[in-house]
Amino acid sequence: FNFPETFSRPALFDFEGVSMINFFTDNWENIQNFKARPDDILVATYPKAGTTWVSYILDLLYFGNTAPERQTDLPIYMRVPFLEAVIPGLPSGVELADSLCTTPRLIKTHLPVQLVPKSFWEQNCRVVYVARNAKDNAVSYFHFDRMNMGQPDPVDWSTDLQKFKDGKKVFGPWYDHVCGYWEKKHTYSNIHYMFFEDMVEDTGREVERLCSFLGLSTPTEERDRITKGVHFDAMKQNNMINYSTVPLMDFKISPFMRKGKVGDWKNHFTVAQNEQFDEHYKQRMKNTTLQFRTQI
Ligand code: A3P
């Protein structure tokens, strides 16, 4: 990192109808013109839904055995470029992705489905989408924005929860994001839609389902090894995975691998906040078949 000494949190603005910050729009032309390859795998999520977890699983499935130095020397954000990111002191996500010489390329995005570069669809790339229930997602995003100086200031929990409901978090409304990719499945079959709650409930089963989507015949023992390796505690300890190398993040405020639980929202929502949230949620989600679990 070649990180600027003075830094202030970025401002939120409307970008093509979505709340954004300049770190994800500055490179827009190159992002939209990005040339995907047919074997690229796009990991798409709303922020804090389990992006790093699934990225690491994919990385181990494809490169766990063949490239040991990748595991010891290369942080996850270098292995799986964040397509739309232009972070001070780092090559842009597009530059990183273009420079990858592995096959397949694993590429991460938080863009809502309508803003994904069209090349991914034209090349019929595989898309792995991870969704997390709104309440835990909102809590995780709040703590992330507290500790990440590259994000707008969340102020306090109740202010931030209101922003979440209003779609004023970076990458826009959670509701449109999860529903957008869910609906996309009707017209584009190469999406594997996963749930954070299912991964917590039975990681091994989800790894197996992922392999079957990807057409991988990874042996059971290997899958078991990966399942153990991606346990929350193992990832939290792993400096190549836990984002401890990113100077923008202040782990004294909150670690990147924070709790990794389903249902932590119960420690944050007041009874009133919960009732109001449920009411608003019902309205926002009334036209979808998509269902989430807020506890397991
Ligand atoms: P919490 O803040 O609730 O702990 P992303 O990678 O999309 O930014 O998501 C981060 C969230 O996923 C954090 O949630 C993090 O702890 C959780 N997470 C990451 N790896 C995990 C794992 N192996 N098991 C459970 N949760 C995990």
> Is residue 90 predicted with pLDDT exceeding 90?
no
Residue nearest atom 22 in ligand 1 by C-alpha distance: 232
Q: Are 128 and 59 in contact (CB under 8 A)?
A: no
Which residue from 43, 47, 61 is spatially nearest to 108, judged by alpha carbons? 43
Q: What is the dihedral of CA 258, 264, 265, 268, to 10 degrees?
A: -80
Best residue among 43, 45, 53 to mutate for probing ligand 1's pocket (most ligand atoms within 8 Å of CB) is 53
Q: For residue 2, how far is its CA from the centre of ligand 1 (angstroms)?
A: 27
Note the pLDDT of residue 149: 93
Q: Are 66 and 59 in contact (CB under 8 A)?
A: no
Q: Is the dihedral of CA 117, 118, 120, 123 positive or negative?
A: negative
Q: What's the CA gap between 114 and 15, in Å, rounded?
A: 12
Tell me the average pLDDT across 89-106: 95
Q: Are 172 and 12 in contact (CB under 8 A)?
A: no
Tokens in use for 182?
């869910």
Q: What's the CA gap between 52 and 108, in Å, rounded?
A: 9
Q: Are 203 and 268 in contact (CB under 8 A)?
A: no
Q: What's the CA gap between 176 and 218, in Å, rounded?
A: 34
> Is residue 131 predicted with pLDDT exceeding 90?
yes
**Which residues are catalytic, by number?**
110
Q: For residue 29, how far is its CA from the centre of ligand 1 (angstroms)?
A: 31
With DSSP H G I counted as helix, E B as strand and the rest as coil, what are the percentages for the chain, rounded to 5?
45, 10, 45
Asked if ipTM goes beyond 0.95, one says yes
Note the pLDDT of residue 245: 87
* pLDDT per residue as tens digits for the range 24-38: 999 999 999 999 999
* pLDDT per residue as tens digits for the range 180-200: 999 999 999 999 999 999 999
Look up the pTM and report it. 0.97
Residue nearest atom 25 in ligand 1 by C-alpha distance: 260
Q: What's the CA gap between 103 and 4, in Å, rounded?
A: 34
Tell me the average pLDDT across 170-178: 98
Give the model's confidence band at 4: pLDDT under 50 very low, under 70 low, under 90 confident, else very high: low
Q: Which residues' Cβ are closer than 6 Å to ligand 1?
A: 45, 47-53, 136, 140, 143, 200, 230-232, 235, 257-260, 264
Tokens in use for 261?
């639980």
> Is residue 41 predicted with pLDDT exceeding 80?
yes
Q: For residue 257, how far is its CA from the centre of ligand 1 (angstroms)?
A: 6
Q: For residue 53, which atom of ligand 1 is closest to its CA?
A: 20
Mean pLDDT over all residues of the chain?
A: 96
